[in-house]
Every structure is written in structure tokens, then in C-alpha cells.
Structure 1
Amino acid sequence: MNSTHTKIKIEEVKEGNVLSAKGFLAGGVHAGLRYAKKDIGIIVSDVTANAAAVYTQSVVQAAPILVTKDSLSASGLLQAVVVNSACANACTGEQGLNDAYEMRKTAADQFQLQENQVAVASTGVIGEYMDMEKVNKGIGQLNLSSEPAGAEAFEQAILTTDTVTKHCAYQACINGCLVTVGGAAKGSGMIHPNMATMLGFLTTDAAVSSEHLQLALSQAVDYTFNQITVDGDTSTNDMVLIMANGMSGIEPLSPEQEEWPVFVDLVSRVCEQLAKKIARDGEGATKLIEVIVEGAHSKANARKMAKTVVGSPLVKTAIYGCDANWGRIIAAMGRSGVQFKPEHVGISFEGITMLDQGKPVAFSEEDAKAYLQKDTITIYVHLQEGNECGVAWGCDLTYDYVKINGSYRT
């Protein structure tokens, strides 16, 4: 990382959200897709924005994914994204695709935008058709606001089984201009991204081309959203989208500039915070689990192993039960697909070593249990074979996860 980057201070915006960046409006309403909660939301930029997105890698991709791809392929520009909850509009054939296009057109007409500059996202039950009468009526009732209430209404409208809204923002002074990146996300179950139900929306007042936005977003997602798992399932609707409207007044940023890493860092920090909030809010979860793999030959191997460990049902249930069973951790490491020497491995919690140089270490079970009763647990894996590190986030697996998903449609 260059010296210019280290001189620029990056700060988290207090109570930051998707409207922290200049020139964005948002809103959300209850249209009747859900019983009582808000279910239609929108983000609109004051001006046309450069945009980029990453999508689910599932072979099964929902209609709104296809429509958003169509919008971005036209020019790489967006001015709005309209979102509904309750219905995923996935596996709905030609009708579902037509409904997603209609949703795009209704939003464009309502806010006097170009159709191909509106993105569409949906989340909810797979295999059900959209109630377009309610959707269109709901879009017509949307009120835009630049105030926190507008952001909150949007955040509420995109939730499914989430228990809390998820939002944050970071900013830095770059070339004399205050640049902000804000974001909102939803996700609680069916979370195992590989770009994954998970939706993320980022806004920035930086000036960045669509091509360079794609580079920054893809890099950030690879180290953040792609490193979380709740249940090992990837959704048909997963998408992370970013819009950059340039309203900070800054000259266009690009990878050739010394300040570029600062912008990438802003995007990455927003993505990481949102990713961790999703993992913490996993369906039925009581704990956020962070796995840090150190001393690997490559970052890719370290990330792969960390995600395997944090996604292991046996590791997740052990953490839920406050059982310091490190055998489950090394077993998950062994099936990660990463080659390593077991005789070199160390495994520890915060200040509690359980395995060193491949040999068990006596530790206090009482101390370990006390640590595992906290709501954030960090597992350290020491490979001692290289200099690279990888991190992944997940949650414990509880009885409530089964209850939630045993009655998801009811």
C-alpha cells in the first residue's frame, strides 16, 4: 500500500447509511406484498451515476438479476434501483421476466427516469409470481427523502427474515474533496456468496468510471461478502450494486492515481461492515464467528480455509454450545482443499492456545467456555508455512435456524 494512502485518514460516519453520500434519495412503503411491513424500496441519485454490480454465481438466476444486467449493459449508467421483498421472482419464466421489466418501467415513469437507467432487485420466496398490481401501486406511493428516515424506510423494505437493518458509511478527504461511500444490505439466511438471500447497495459521491468501479467493487466483494457464510446456500437473487454520482466535486479517480487505494479502501470498509452485520444476523444466530488463518502460502488458500472452517456445521454447533472442541476446527481445515502440514498447525482463541506445532496444549476448559459465551468469537489458525492471511465470518448454528426455515413460507 502506497505512502499517500497511509497519510489519508478514513473515518466511519456516525450513524452512516446509504444516503450519507451527497446527491442520493431513498424511500420505502408497505405495498401489501408482506402482511404488515414495508416491502417496496428505492434509491435514486440526483444525477445519472456510473454503476457496477456483482451477481450470484448460481446457475439459477432470478428475473431481476437479468433485468439489472440488461440495464447496466446499455451504458454502465444508473440513476435508481428499485427493490421488493416477500417475492424473489425466481423460477417464474417469461412472466417473471416481464414482471421485472414492468417493475423497472413503473419506477422509471414514476420518477421520470430512463428505463435502462433503473436497476431491479427482489428477495423472498422462490417460485411465486409477483403481484404486479400491488407492486405498481407501491412504487406509485414511494416518497423520496435525503433524510435518515428515507434511508431507514428503504432498509426496512428490503428485509426478509433479518432481525435488524444493516447500514454504514465511511469517508475520507481526497484531493481536497470529502468523499463518502455509504451502504445498506439485507441478508440472514441462504448466505454463502460466491460472486450471494443477500442484497447490498452502495452509494458514493466520488467520480469513478463504471469500468473502474467494477474493479473496486469486485476486489472489495472478494475479501468481504465472499468471505461470509450462514448456511452454505447461495441464493438465486444475490447482488451487490454500487452507484457513483460524482457530486463530491472530485476529479475522476482511477487506478493510475496515488489516491486510488483510498477509494478502494472506502468501498472495502463498507462492504466488510455490511458483510459482518449479515453474518451476525444469521437466522437464529447468537454469535458472530470470525476465523483468521495466518501463515498461509497464498491469500486465496488462507481465505478458502477460513471460509471452510467458519462454514462447518460442527464448528458452528460447537461454538453455539460453548464447547472448545478444536478437533472440529482442524477436521474442517483438512477438507478445505488447501494443502498444509498438520505438524506445524496452531489453533487458538483470544489468549487461549489449544494446539501448537500440531500437538494438544493443556488449557482451562472454564476459561474457554467463558470466552465462548461472548457474542463475538475469533478463531485463530496458524499454518506457519508462509506470510499470507485470510479472514472469513459466519455465525453459530442454533435450534432457531431449523425453526425459522422449517416454516419459511408460512
Structure 2
Amino acid sequence: MNKLQKRLIGLAGASALFFGFVVFRIAAAPHDDTVKLAKIPTTNNAHLGTEAYKDAYPLQYKSFMKNNEGAPSPTGFGGAQPENSHLKNQPEMLENFKGYKFAIQYDDDRGHTYAGKDILSSKRRPGQKGSCIVCKSSYMYDVYYKDSGWDFASKPFDDIAAPIAADQWFGCSSCHDPETMQLRIYNVGFVDSMARRGIDVKTASHNDMRAYVCAQCHTEYYFTKEDGRVNMPYDNGYDAEAEFQFYQSGQAGGFQQDWIHADSKTPMLKAQHPDFEAWVTGVHADAGVTCVDCHMPYVRENGRKYTSHWMTSPLKTINESCLKCHDESAETLTARVKTIHENTFKLQRIAGQTVSKAHLTIQAAMNSGATDAQLAQARLKLREAQWYWDWVAAENGVGFHNPDRIMRTLGLAIDLAHQSIEEANAVVKGSL
């Protein structure tokens, strides 16, 4: 054996010892990712607030407080900047919501930490009922519902909101059982609505629960005429067409419309962020990818793995949210999402503007002497057209949650709005 061989053998031995030591240190280092269950105080309903969890779950709390940030979306769509008014960016909404409170104020949604502050300061709040608290605080369930069922729903919102402390609005208990910290569904309306589809959320798998905890609020809903309770129109299916049929067929009971449009006198429906419905029939849901996987990914800090509670655009956490499944570059994925957003918003604007024109066309027909009977079909098609447009406009994914379904829905909106315009004009011309 020559000197070179001896040196190579020695170098190999030293390298083996060094890397063996490194591997041993990594293996021996503590990295228990188990979240230790902590006892949360219940005095004065402290367990319904956020501060009570701060010391017990510091990483989760710290990431949750990042929801206070108002940075724009990487694609320029969505985000959490209240100064971005939908009424300014989409002025057709002023006509489409005329006679309804959404024509007074309709701003970008802010982070979940602002749930209480924003509803209390909203120009739409005066005159609202207690049912509006349902998705803003688990106080609704843990105090009011447990005490007297849905009685709170028909009471004035200000009376219902008065006892709630500043940190007892949306927080840890909105998604976790305060005693066990297991994911929970506290919105009884969602539980009942899913049950009508044969789904018992109480026996849902953990992966399904990672969607349902978000779905209980990020969904279309209405308040029943009888007692103001929250209900979801899932009976016929989850898409916009199935939900419109639910309302149109009388399945909503005494609830018929949200308001009568000031110009066209059409009975209108207002869609409420159907994020769950858009996602549930999309490619990510089919692959078992839930809301939490994308919007609240697993992250690490100082070697500890935990679920981020910063509910934000997945593009802001693209390495953890997207690149663990997709093998494209971050730039390619961001560009793809931006393209979906741009195409959706462009078509959304066209749909909204066409709907707006339909309202004014029916108003002009009325001014020319057209009767309610003559305009009945034009109004029906306008009601449906606006529903489809609004279903997309109110959905928070700007098309991404289900691009194919969203494009179809906007196409229907544009087509029906044109049909409404044509029928109203035909009435004036005397051809109907």
C-alpha cells in the first residue's frame, strides 16, 4: 500500500467519523413536534378570547397575530387592504346593489383578527340582527346557543355584541374545542345543512375537518324567515346553479329575496363568499388538498414544526404551501395564478357591467309604461344573472379555487343578462 492510498483511507475514515457524529447529533437532538395540551382558564369566558392561548401555544399565537398585517396579494388581487373599495374598483356594483347596504360600503376583507373591529365599525351594521355574529365569534355558540338555542339570532346585533370583549371575537375557539384543542364545528347552521346532504360532520375524518372548520363560515348562507337562524342552500348541490334552484324552488321557506332593487324592482339575492362550494368541486379537493394545506401550511421555527395560523395567500408561503406538491418554480406558479386572477376579474367586470345595464334597461321599460307582468321574465333572468355574477364576485379565490366552474358561472351571468336586456327592449318595442 503506497502513501497516497494510506492518505485516502485515512481521509475516508475521518470523513466517516465526522459525518457519523453529525448524523448522531441530529438524531439525538430533541424535535418533538407534539403540541402539548394546556389548561385554558374559563373565568369570564377567557377561553373564548385569544390572549388566553398566548403562553400555552406561542408559535401558533405569534403566527395568528400576523393576520394583522395588510400586505397586498402577490398577484395584485385580493389581499387585506381595507382602503381598497370594491365600489371604487368595480363601480358597476353601485348600480347592481342599489337599494341594498352593499352599495353603501363594500371593502376588501381584512385578516381574521379584524373580524370584530370591522363589523362594529361597518356602515352596514346599523339595523342588523344577532345572526350576523355567527361567523364573527364562537361566543355565539358557547354562550348564546348553549343557553337558549337560536333565540339570539332575531335580537338586535348591538345588544348581542355588547358583552363580547375585544379579544373574544374570531380566535382560537372558533376552530378548536377549548378543552381538547381538537378541530370543531361550532356553526350549528353548517352542521344542519350538511346533515341534509347525508353528511355527519361529527364523524368526519381529520382531513375533512381541515376543510370544514373553514367551510362553516366561508360559504353561501341566508337567514331563515322564521327565526333568523343561519342556513346553507346545499340541498341540490354545491355549485351556483344548484344554489339558485334552491332559492327559486321555495326550499328556503319564507326567505325569498334579500332586497328589491331600487331601479329594476327585481327581487334580488346577495351571495356570501361561497369559497367552500367553489373549492369542493375543484381539482384540489379531488386530490384531498384542503383549505388548511394551502392557507395554513406546516412551517418550522427553531426546529419546531407547527401549523401556521397566518391565514393568507398561499403565494406568500409558496415553499410550504405549493412547492411541496408542485415541481414547477415559484415564478411559474405565481404567474399561473396571476393569469387565472386576471382572466377571472376581466370576465367578472364584463358580467357585472352587463347586469348593471340590464337593471337600467328594465327601469327604462318601466318608465315607458311596461307592466310588471310584461317584465316578469326579464326580471327573472336578471335575478339569475346577478346571482351568478355575484357568486363569483363574492368568492375570495378570484377564480383560483375552481377556474372551470368560475368561467362557466360568469358565462351564464353574461348570457342571462343579455337575454334580460333583449326581453325588456322587446316589451318596449311591442314585440312581446
**How high is the TM-score relative to the length of structure 2?**
0.26
Larger radius of gyration: 2
Which structure shows the higher strand fraction?
Answer: 1
Bigger RCO of structures 1 and 2 (CA < 8 A, at least 6 apart):
1
**How high is the TM-score relative to the length of structure 1?**
0.27
Which structure shows the higher helix fraction?
Answer: 2
